[in-house]
Structures are given as C-alpha cells and as structure tokens.
Amino acid sequence: MGERELEICNRVLASVGDRAEAIVQVSTGRHALTRFANSFIHQNVAEDSTEVSLTAVVQGRLATASSTDTSDRGIGRLAEGTVTAAGLRPPDPHWPGLAAPGETAEVDHWDQATWAASPVERAAVVRAFVDAGPGTGAAGFCSTDAVITGLANSAGLSQTGRATVAQLDALARTGTSDGLGAEMSRSLGDLDGGRAGATAAQKARASADPVELDPGHYEVVLEPACVASMLDFLARAGFNAKAHAEGQSFVHLGEAQFDASVNLWSDASDPRTLGVGFDGEGTPRRRLDLVRDGVTVALAHDRRSAAQAGTRSTGHFSGDHAAGPMPTNLFLGSGTQSVDALVGAVERGLLVTDFWYIRFLDPKTQVVTGLTRNGLFLIEGGRVTSAVRNLRFTQSFVGALGPGRVLGLGDDGRLATGDLGALYGWFHHVPTLRLAAWNFTGGAKG
C-alpha cells in the first residue's frame, strides 16, 4: 500500500514544477464510528477520505494549503494557489530547507481486519461492554480508523506508511456516578469489551455514594489515563525544543529533574504503539530517550529547531511551525508492582481514574489546573474505603514526578490517551503510578 498516495504526490510535485520547493503529503483514510448511549447504539458513521497537503517555498517564503480534490484540475488549482500565496509571504529566516532522501521508516502498525471492520464487528464490542454492566447504563463509542500516507518532496525524498487504530472509550453509569472503561490497539480483535465494561461498571457502582473530602495534599495512585495526560503536557511545552530555545520549558539537560525510577522515551517503531513511522517533514521517528534514570537527556526536534540548535531532527515535526516539535509515541517505563500492591502501600490517599479540563497556569513550571472524573476513591490503611466527590487540583506535573516523589511504578503498562490525546491523536504507553503528593485545591465547582 502507498503506491496510489505517492502517485498523487508526484502529480502535485510535477504541477508545482521548478516554481518552488515543495513538500506533499497525501493521506487516504477510512474512519468509522459506532456510538451508543443508554445502552443502545444510536449512530453508525463511516467515511473514506483523501487529503492532499502541499507546502510550497519560494525563496524562503512558505505557504501551506490542502485539498480533497485529486483530479488534474484540483491538483493544478492547489499548486497554483499555494505557490502564489508563498510568493506573497515574508521570508522565513529559519527555513531549514527540504529533507534529503535518506533512511526510510520501516514501521507498519497495521491490521487488515481493522481496516475492513464492519459495524457488526464494532457492535459486538459494544454488546460485550453493555452486557458486562447489568443494572448500569452505558454510553460511549467504538471506533476503527485506518490511514495510508505518502510523502514526497522536490529534493527526491519519498516515504510511505500505514496504520490502524481501534478504540473503545465508554462509561458505565448509575443515576449519580460514572465509571470509565477504555481500551485501544491497532487491532479491533484486541479490544475486550467485556473487560472494559466490567471495569467501568465496578467503578460506577463504587462511586454511587461519594463523600466530601477537604482540599489538601494527598498521596495518590494515578491510573494510566491520568499518567497519559501528564505526558501530553510534558510533551507539548516541556520536551519541545522550540519552547526550550525560547526559555519557556522546564527542561535543564543533564539534570536529575525526575525521580530516579523515571525513564521516558519516544519510539514510533515499538510494536506496542500506533501510527506511521515518519513525521510531516519525512524524517523517520526513531527511539529518542528523553529521561534516563531521572536525568533529562534530550529534547524533541523538527528540522527547524534542529538547524537552529546545530543538531539533527528527531522526527517530531508537530505539523505547526509556530507550536514547535512535540514528542509522540511516548513510553514511561513500567515497574514490578501490581496495582493492588500500589494501593496497599498507601496509608491515606486517593485513587484517581481520570483527569479532564486541564489547563496550563504556567507552562514553564508545568503548573496546571484540572479536575478528576469517572472514579475518585479514598484509600485508608491500604484499602479503598469510599468514593469521593470530584476535586479540582493545581499541580506541577514535573514537580509531581520529581526526585523522591515517585513511590511506585505499576506493572500494568498499556496504551492510554490523555486530556490532549483526543485533540492531537496521541497515545502513550504508561503504567499506574503511586506519587508522594498531589495538591487538591477544592471541589469540582470551584
């Protein structure tokens, strides 16, 4: 696969000709969604799409445009409009030039059955979720997505990639509470709706009669969805080389900024992750260690930030030069403790299922505010004793992971998506964490 996408890329490059330097990316997608509420499927939608994105550079002046029209006329209009727009833009003093032909990305996170999945197959996952929670209502979605991508530039670079993603994200509901059950994989066949539904129903039932808890600093056990949210923010504004160059990142290379148990890396080639193996500039996404035994050792670069820093791109172009490079396909190294053991070691603290509505208060120190949701529980004497009403927190994510602050790493590493993941399509492989302190500042209404 990928031949058709590259053929379209080459037609666009031929239409641009020698009027500009050019990068073309063509993505063919199949996106299907089964949505349910009140334990009934109420929507099945599917779309096959093709999008062409062209960046033209005329004497250092850049413009980008996209189109879904792959006819000769559509391609001609895209090329003409983008080249004309580039000529009207001011010169970009930091344009690093096009990537030259080189190493290709040998990554294939693809499952043919997921690409061809039918509504009936997604409905079977939904049915298993619903059946696992009798007496609760169920709401959420099961989706299958597939993308085939071709990328080429006028310097001769050519890349193809493909990826599939299957996702179940759903809630079990009582009259007063929700419980989360979520799974994701490259393969729809890997999703266990019954397992996710049982987890969600157990959390919903346990949360039905929550108690009020005073604000304060509490030891916490954070489940993978929470940890994924933390990595979203560390990636967006911390390990971003542009933010670092502008003095807006917490990163101090070579310093032990994290607990010695923390190892964090990006690796699109790992079979446990998802997505294509190169970025929008055509650079392969190889393994990049960001934190090693608590020491911050690297930043993510695209071609622009790498040229300014005198180094090489790490394959992390975010698609937005203004936003800077962001590491994706993050892995937080797992530990050896079961989730029960992590909870059992807490004398008094909170078990947190999920975060939402997280917003930066200070990107440089990674201080954010946000809310808990879908299951918050009090731990006393190593046991979960009651549900707790949702709380607001104000917390530095990097501070929470600092030296001496990580008290345990779970053995349950898995793919999870965080608060920004739905926006950017990010998935991280993370375990449950036990942390020494988390600053809860009030109830969910204040």
Q: How many CA atoms lie within 13 A of 438 on its CB side?
A: 30
Residue 445, pLDDT above cutoff 80: no
pLDDT (tens digit per residue) in 312-331: 999 999 999 999 999 999 99
**What HEC string does the chain produce?**
CCHHHHHHHHHHHHHHHHHCEEEEEEEEEEEEEEEEECCEEEEEEEEEEEEEEEEEEECCEEEEEEECCCCHHHHHHHHHHHHHHHHHCCCCCCCCCCCCCCCCCCCCECCHHHHCCCHHHHHHHHHHHHHCCCCCEEEEEEEEEEEEEEEEECCCCEEEEEEEEEEEEEEEECCCCEEEEEEEECCHHHCCHHHHHHHHHHHHHHCCCCECCCCEEEEEEECHHHHHHHHHHHHHHCCEHHHHHCCCCCCCCCCCCCCCCCCEEECCCCCCCCCCCECCCCCECCCEEEEECCEECCCECCHHHHHHHCCCCCCCCCCCCCCCCCCCCEEECCCCECHHHHHHCCCEEEEEEEEEEEEEEECCCCEEEEEEEEEEEEEECCEEEEEECCEEEEEEHHHHCCCCCEEEEECCCEEECCCCHHHHCCCEEECCEEEEEEEEEEECCC
Q: Give the pLDDT band of residue 158 (cuts 50, 70, 90).
A: very high
Segment 273-278 mean pLDDT: 96
Instruction: Give the tokens for residue 351.
Output: 């078990």
Residue-level pLDDT at 303: 97
Residue-level pLDDT at 102: 87
pLDDT (tens digit per residue) in 326-360: 999 999 999 999 999 999 999 999 999 999 999 99
Residue-level pLDDT at 346: 98
Residue-level pLDDT at 104: 83
Segment 88-98 mean pLDDT: 95
Segment 121-143 mean pLDDT: 98
Segment 385-402 mean pLDDT: 98
Of the candidates 172, 195, 177, 183, the one whose C-alpha atom is nearest the C-alpha of residue 376 is 177
- Phi and psi at residue 255, to the nearest 5°: -100, 150
Segment 243-267 mean pLDDT: 98
Residue 263, pLDDT above cutoff 60: yes
Residue-level pLDDT at 443: 87
- Mean of pLDDT over the chain: 96
Cα gap 291→367, rounded to integer Å: 19
Q: Give the pLDDT band of residue 51 (cuts 50, 70, 90).
A: very high
CA 418 to chain centre: 7
Question: Dihedral through CA 147, CA 152, CA 157, CA 162, nearest 10?
Answer: 10
Cα gap 327→267, rounded to integer Å: 9
Question: What are the residues facing 367 on neighbouring strands?
Answer: 362, 396
Q: Give the pLDDT band of residue 446 (cuts 50, 70, 90).
A: low
Q: Give the pLDDT band of residue 182 (cuts 50, 70, 90).
A: very high
Residue-level pLDDT at 156: 97
Sign of the CA dihedral with 400 first, then 406, 412, and 415 last: positive
Sign of the CA dihedral with 343 first, then 349, 355, and 358 last: negative
pLDDT (tens digit per residue) in 414-439: 999 988 776 677 899 999 999 999 99
Contact 271, 110 (CB under 8 A): no
Contact 197, 170 (CB under 8 A): yes
- pLDDT exceeding 90 applies to what percent of the chain? 95
- pLDDT exceeding 70 applies to what percent of the chain? 99
Which residues does 84 contact at the CB level (< 8 Å), separation at least 6?
none
Segment 279-296 mean pLDDT: 97
Contact 227, 431 (CB under 8 A): yes
Residue 401, pLDDT above cutoff 60: yes
For the chain, list the domains and their CATH numbers. Answer: 3-202 (3.30.2290.10), 210-446 (no CATH)
Q: Give the pLDDT band of residue 181 (cuts 50, 70, 90).
A: very high
- Phi and psi at residue 157, to the nearest 5°: -70, 145
Instruction: Give the tokens for residue 331.
Output: 């892995």
Residue-level pLDDT at 40: 97
Q: Give the pLDDT band of residue 61 (cuts 50, 70, 90).
A: very high
Residue-level pLDDT at 133: 96
